[in-house]
Structure 1
């Protein structure tokens, strides 16, 4: 296409500078290579010579259309259709634009009214009308991403935000929404990266800073020990369920019962004890669920160092449960008496 444009410039228009067909051909080639500003200026020269040139009106209207200046594009199409109501290309361009704007408005309206699933279909229908209309589609992709985030469809939302950012990598809102979408799919590091980048671009935006803080907290929480998983209970487990799980696992992994894999047993035994220390205490459990750093208070198992120490104080317990080998004697977080696991009962 670029070579054809060069040929028209260097050959055709050199020998026939006044040829209207050659000028229109040049404008068509400029439109094909997406040089919309040049289309507007070149078609404008043609219209100064002949204000009723339908081809020039069509081409100039399309350039404004692809720049998302839809009002001006509409005026060009309407003027051409007043001159020739049956002009097929002008009719197609005009009604195509009307349809696009209608579907876009439906999508935006349904999104604002909370009709999220309907708006998803509207946005997708609008995007299907003209995949090449990037200046307009960037906003459709962004609108779709925002709705998908609200619906909790993180993976689809990321795809839509990526489409928007591929068109305009500086689109701040798309970056923020992609960060929110990554939180949904539990890509904590990706969410922090996007939201940190957005915060750097707009340091005064408190909503972005709040979203970043939420992402950083989620990332931090993702790296801490999951005491519920260690005890094999749900986050809604009752006190009695936690006690039963603790008793069962502590007996299963007591080092004196695992002489062949004593190191593994001791490690699991420590984790089980540390998990019960947190989840077996209402106050610590509540603070853990809120995301507070229980480990920073000296809890075992999550912060490195000696998992049996707390605040520099060494806790110990003595178990004499009839296991072969004389019983396990070791530091125990929180001063929990392991003998008590036999007295926990099931309630």
Structure 2
């Protein structure tokens, strides 16, 4: 009764201690080992969960509940271990597949999702799947907001998305907790340099035309890009990004389609 009450109150570690003592007092306690396995599972400890459920099956290999738990834990343990191996071997695409399978295997237990988020963040950022990387990194940071590796991974994903200001914020947050890190300082410098270069892009680069482009070619490029990036054609997070791009396209068009403004722009002093 005490164990059940502790579990309901979320005191899983305390419940685990009582349950271990209770299980040791009773011989042939299949139910106790099953309960221990389930409790470890709720805490996200697959290895311990697997060890306890094996104890149940040693006592009764035909125990239906224990066998079902064994199959589930064994599958999830294998997926998570393989994902870690892929990370070590830098096979990040394979890592993503294993972690996705792990999430499909266990959707309800929060502890597993918390374990998977940082690894998914890392693997996605390494494959330049930046949008999903930002999503998973952000979820991980809700739980551990000062995780240096996750902050760096999200910053790098922001850079791919050309959200340089967000990347700079993540690096600065990480530096507050580890001021002496050369890795963080180099990352921050790189993000700032890329941001400055991005701000200094020419109007020709924005429209994707040559400096010798005719007014007609400039207008054609504008119409094509304006259609792609008009904010009304996008939703959610993409809408904000599209709006920023659309403003740049309009500004470039206003200058390059006007002969006098274009001449003045072409004769400007280098930044």
TM-score for the superposition, normalised by structure 1: 0.58
Distance 1:112 1:54 in 2: 37
| Aligned equivalent of 1:77 | 53
> What's the C-alpha RMSD, in Å, of the aligned pairs?
2.8
Picking from 13, 16, 25, the partner of 1:49 is 25
Tell whether the 8 Å contact from 2:46 to 2:76 is kept in structure 1 after alignment. no
Q: Higher helix share goes to which structure? A: 2
The answer on 1:272 being equivalent to 2:263 is no
Structure 1 residues 40 and 103: alpha-carbon distance in aligned structure 2, compared to 1, 3 A threshold: same
Q: Match of 1:255?
A: none
Alpha-carbon distance between aligned partners in 1 of 2:14 and 2:7, rounded to the nearest angstrom: 8
Residue 94 of structure 2, aligned match among 118, 128, 132: 118
Q: Work out whether residues 161 and 177 of structure 1, in 8 Å CA contact, stay in contact via their aligned partners in 2.
A: yes
Counterpart selection for 1:178 from 154, 169, 181:
154
Q: For the residues of structure 2 that align with 1:107 and 1:129, how far apart are their CA atoms?
A: 14
Aligned to 2:66: 90
C-alpha separation between the residues in 1 aligned to 2:177 and 2:110?
23
Aligned with 1:190 (options 166, 169, 193): 166
Structure 2 gap ranges (5+):
219-257
Once the 2 structures are TM-superposed, how far is the Cα of residue 29 of structure 1 from its aligned partner?
4.9
Are residue 169 (structure 1) and residue 145 (structure 2) matched? Answer: yes
- Once the two structures are TM-superposed, the CA of residue 216 in structure 1 deviates from its matched residue by 1.3
For the structure 1 residues 44 and 127, does the alpha-carbon distance in structure 2 shift closer, same or farther, using more than 3 Å as the test?
Answer: same
2:231 corresponds to which residue?
none
TM-superposed deviation, 1:227? 5.3
- Note the C-alpha offset of 1:31: 3.1
After superposing the two structures, state which structure 1 stretch, 186-195 or 160-169, moved more. Answer: 160-169
Q: Partner of 1:98: helix, strand, or coil?
A: helix
Q: Map of 1:12-161 to 2, 5 A cutoff?
A: 23=1, 26-161=2-137
TM-score, structure 2 normalization = 0.73
Give the count of matched residue pairs. Answer: 230
Query: Residue deviations 1:208-240, cap 9 Å, x none?
Result: 22111111112222333525437x665xxxxxx
Aligned-partner Cα distance in 2 for 1:171–1:93: 32
Assess if the C-alpha contact under 8 Å between 1:138 and 1:168 holds in 2: no
The answer on whether the counterparts of 1:179 and 1:195 sit within 8 Å (CA) in structure 2 is: yes
The change in CA–CA distance for 1:92 and 1:204 in structure 2 (over 3 A counts) is farther
Matches of 1:93 and 1:268 in 2, distance apart? 71
Q: CA deviation at 1:183?
A: 0.7
Q: Look up the SS of the partner of 1:181 in the other structure.
A: helix
Structure-1 residue corresponding to 2:245: none
Q: Does 1:213 align with 2:189?
A: yes
Structure 1 stretch 218-227 or stretch 83-92: which is displaced more?
218-227
